[in-house]
Amino acid sequence: MFSLMQMQAMLAALPDPVFILTRSGKYAYIFGGTDQRYYHNGACLIGRFFSEVLVAEKADWFMQQIAQVLQSGKMMIVEYQLAGADVLGLEDGPDDAIWFEGRVQPLGFQIDGEDAVLWVASNISARHMLQQRLQHLSEVDELSHLYNRRKLRSQLNRQLSLFHRHHTRCSLLVFDLDFFKQLNDACGHPTGDSVIETVGRICLQTVREEDLAARYGGDEFAVLMPHTDTQQAWCLADRLRRKIQQVLLQMDLPQICTSISGGISEFLPLDDKVEALVQRADRGLYMAKNLGRNRICCEHPD
């Protein structure tokens, strides 16, 4: 058996910090945290309350997690971030948020007359950054730097759900480059790739913050516009069309490939799948092609 002194030494040597936190939000005890790459000495926190250390929003969040664990009586794993701005009185804290995984276990006895939890905090910033990077690679088209078809599809389904639950209007623009195949045939694929990249950059510069621009495939693009009806979407789409034409005319391209054609539609009450919206926008695109290209059209529902 270990002696009390040995147990205390082992607890103090733990690489990750272990907090004993009471229901009222008090730091009752702190053990470990010896990995100095990630943690500072937290001994100064002992006896203090969240409200004395953290901004109100963060303090409330920690209190909620503790209350939930004590109510359930089961361990809970949470991920959270802390930045220098979250800590009161910290003048030289990190600019970037540090991500943690917290493993929170209810204790079967009281501390200072209160229910309490054991909270193990592990720095997972490197893992979080890797996850974010992998997610970015899975959602973003490498050439245009816009979202890809998979991400667009996910957001279309989300917006359809919001439309039916909250009647939140949402429009979709689908467009492609006029005579893009002839451009590739005449100038080669590197030139075509340059045009795709340029159009992607213009989309990022032109669409609103709440919009989602995506490369749909080949030279076909899409812009999802939440909280926007067809008339508003047409104005935004035509501004994008004019901006793309203005930039492409400044490039050393054949005159034939300096414009886009597009179609617009918005969700309708009878839409039960996103395909209905996409098909109407596609029909608007074909209408624009048939009318001479370099325009945005809206295919009205029957």
Domain boundaries, the chain: 4-132, 140-298
Per CATH, which fold does 4-132 belong to? Beta-Lactamase (3.30.450)
Of the two residues 161 and 136, the one the predictor is more confident about is 161
**What span, in angstroms and rounded, lies between the C-alpha atoms of 223 and 175?**
9
Residue 162 neighbours by CB distance under 10 Å: 16
CA pair distance 47, 40, nearest whole angstrom = 17
pLDDT tier at 97, thresholds 50, 70, 90: confident
Query: How large is the average pLDDT for residues 195-206?
Result: 96
Using one digit for the tens of pLDDT, what is the confidence trace for 32-91? 888 787 777 788 899 999 999 999 999 999 999 999 999 999 999 999 999 888 888 765
**Computed over its alpha carbons, how large is the radius of gyration of the chain?**
28
Q: Which residue has the higher pLDDT, 269 or 6?
A: 269
Class of domain 140-298: alpha beta
CB 96 within 8 A of CB 104: no
Map tokens 């008090």 to a residue. 26
Please check whether residue 216 is in contact with residue 156, taking contact to mean a CB–CB distance below 8 angstroms: no
The encoded tokens of residue 292 equal 């001479």
Q: What pTM value is reported for the model?
A: 0.68
pLDDT number for residue 37: 78
